[in-house]
Chain A
């Protein structure tokens, strides 16, 4: 297979449509044959790992993505018919075995497709191009907002419903602006679906906001106080950031689960996300098992890049945690400052009242007013400290955990490959033994097993290389995003500091003549 294909031209902005199409056809036919050997694996596994790996360091990420996913789309189309992954059933069963006609991209430009099912691959083609354009031009034309938290229901069954609004010009969506109502467990359900599909093949899936039993209970019970409003606001902002990060990921954006989440008015309730459900407990057990495994896997790292990156992420994690702790302290102290300023303002007002020199009394009352306004200022600044700076850091601490998880998956993948190699060796030994013992029927069985395990070894190697490749790409994208994110948010934060100082200047300038007027 590798021999027949020509790699897409390197250094080209866009590979020519014609070439793509050819590739598409070839790949499609080849995918069918390799299908059986693949264990239940979700769509994005590029079945043509070996082709692409030849181009590993050359082409721009966008290009490569284009190839992979294009093939993926076709792969997906056939895969769903034969594979049996439980998670995907509810969502994808609606898509029938498609009329997969490799169409030239040019013809796709015209019609805005209405019925999704028929033209799934077509849409994907079109949007893939769009996406490529957009990533190259650095414009992602999709905006997500999470707003209007609303309490639904009563008592312990109550929950908060959030409005998720999407504004986009991407044609894969049927409308350009739409909104749906979602609850927190829906978000968790989305994340769990995406994670199960993409994490173990090396994609960095943004983590969902954390659950908080205490916070939610307060809301359910109906405590209408400051802390529960703050909690809801914190969660709303976190959910918005989560969705924004998820749609920025070109592969995840393509996922039908994500689209369904954004678009469909009714979503099946994601019960598996509850902490105490069967699935929840299974998750906890798996996590524990994973942790143990991690300690026992000793991988021979042949690629220094991975080792280096892992170390870098480890350092980054530590530094971010330290910084986060300091910023949290700042938020706390600023809130304290605000409370103390308010208390002082009241006290100064009282003092002004009891002062019997009229001009001084007036000035003290003015001072009390200024301090009250400053207290407001401190409160607002504390918000900015938190929502901009502190939350950015905690988001990234969790993201880095996801990155580390992806590296761990690669290790597991390697382990699997290793194990297959060891088993193959054992089978070969068995065969040799049988040969010596001259048992023809057993020899045949041994030969069959050897063939089976040879294929598994090959697959293991392919998987490993694929995941390594994906990780490299993902890490590159992640680093770019990280740099952009930090710069944007920190600049916004500094601007909030600027605003505070400008207000301070205004207040004190107004007070100064009052103070001078004391005669």
Chain B
């Protein structure tokens, strides 16, 4: 890789990012700290609990992996110390998530969705292209674009940190899951967990499992549920999940267009600057002022786009994953219902033949218990899910509106000031 990439790909080696100086913009908490503060609670609205507090205190981005420093504070007796940190990678988070999913005991809970894999490829590619194209643009343009790309990289970085953190917090807040042994090992064991990523065979197994699940899902969903609550939840979740998926995709596209437009402002500002420095008439002052305006307004537009991404797109993406997890729960419950019904049938058959009746009875009892246990906890989980969802949407929509207002007012101020100066001059 070109030296350019390696040297400037780590604008923030290993730290949670110093704040980017906001030239020209007077007020407002800077982009980063606002996000830091709010992010944990953004999508989940959790109560912080003295018994167990987990967060990601640091993160380091290396060539193709990210190392998260997971920091725990706990008063629980299970841990050797009250406060400690370990370094974890993405694969280890996935291992933890999968261990929950595969654990039969947790069948009745909504398993917090796994964080998506950190994806810096697009950003890295852009930085590399910029490095290659360095000769073909002016120094100002180059610096501007580099800053732009670095900010983008930073934003992606922060997002991935946040998503990993949210996962851990959800687990820590869940009354049952927080007691999980694997979770404690994850938090405490200060060496590499040696969880290799799934090899081909295992990935293929997963693939088949998913296929079976969706085929099953079709069969299972055909059975109308006796319980009204679950019947309603199922219809609701199916539709909701699809619509959230659609909304999330469209929101993504919208924020990306917004960002493209903001980037255009950047280039227009540079062109105007070039015009201003070269022109021979008195319009050069005018051009320079307008160029400055475009630079500043572009910063605001970029933040609008980033905030929309955070408060809207990310929110929708998260609830896409959560609603999938909720659907999975319903699936597991339906599965266990089918198992229960099959066990009943088997019992009847056994009684009819008078063979292995005891065994069939025990099996039926087990299925019944399992089913009832799942149903009970599922009900609670789904109610909680709704509460969480409403709270998260409320928080985010309010913050979105407030931020949009703040930026629009800032933009308006900028424009009006500039116009006053320009009109005064002419």
A residues lining the B interface (CB < 8 Å): 312, 315-316, 319-320, 322-323, 326-327, 329-330, 333-334, 336-337, 340-341, 343-344, 347-348, 350-351, 353-357, 359-360, 363-364, 367, 479, 482-483, 486-487, 490-491, 494-495, 497-498, 501-502, 504-505, 508-509, 511-512, 515-516, 518
Contact A486 B264 (CB under 8 A): no
B250 interface contact, C-beta 8 A: yes
Q: How far is the CB of A192 from chain B (nearest CB, A)?
A: 31
On whether the beta carbons of B246 and A350 are closer than 8 Å, the reply is yes
A344-B251 in contact (CB<8A): yes
Write the nearest CB–CB distance from B71 to chain A, whole angstroms.
Answer: 33
Lowest 7 A-B CB distances belong to which pairs?
A337-B257, A323-B271, A330-B264, A515-B397, A518-B394, A344-B250, A501-B412
For chain B, residues 367 to 426, give those with C-beta under 8 angstroms from any C-beta of chain A.
Answer: 386, 389-390, 393-394, 397-398, 400-402, 404-405, 408-409, 411-412, 415-416, 418-419, 422-423, 426
Q: Output the nearest chain A residue to B248 by Cβ-Cβ distance.
A: A347
**Complex Cα gap A304–B325 (Å):** 77
Per the bound structure, the CA–CA distance linking A487 and B418 in Å amounts to: 13
**Chain B: interface residue total (CB-CB under 8 A):** 57
Residues in B279-298 with C-beta less than 8 Å from chain A: 279-283, 286, 290, 293, 297
Residues of the B chain whose Cβ atoms lie less than 8 Å from the Cβ of A482: 281, 283
Q: In the complex, how many angstroms separate the beta carbon of A380 from the nearest chain B beta carbon?
A: 14
Is B355 interfacial (CB-CB < 8 Å)? Answer: no
CA distance A494 to B293 in the complex (A): 10
In the bound complex, residues from chain B placing their C-beta under 8 Å from that of A367 are 397
Q: Smallest CB-CB separation from B297: which chain A residue?
A: A497
Q: List 18 A-B contacts (CB under 8 A).
A: A315-B278, A323-B268, A326-B264, A326-B268, A327-B264, A330-B268, A340-B257, A341-B257, A356-B386, A367-B397, A483-B281, A483-B282, A483-B283, A498-B415, A508-B404, A515-B398, A518-B394, A518-B397
Closest chain-A Cβ to B402's Cβ sits at a distance in Å of: 7
Partner of B247, one of A344, A483, A495: A344
> Which residues of the partner chain A approach B389 to less than 8 Å between Cβ atoms?
357, 360
- Out of A315, A322, A359, A498, name the residue touching B412 (CB < 8 Å): A498
Bound Cα distance from A353 to B239, whole angstroms: 10
The answer to whether A498 and B416 touch across the interface, beta carbons within 8 angstroms, is yes
Nearest-CB residue, chain B, relative to A510:
B401
B258 CB–A CB distance under 8 Å: yes
Q: Which residues of B contact A (CB under 8 A)?
A: 236, 239-240, 243-244, 246-247, 250-251, 253-254, 256-258, 260-261, 264-265, 267-268, 271-272, 274-275, 278-283, 286, 290, 293, 297, 386, 389-390, 393-394, 397-398, 400-402, 404-405, 408-409, 411-412, 415-416, 418-419, 422-423, 426
Find chain A residues with CB under 8 A from B415 CB: 494, 497-498, 501
Contact call A487/B261, Cβ cutoff below 8 A: no
A residues within 8 A CB of B267? Answer: 326, 329
**Are A505 and B422 touching (Cβ within 8 A)?**
no
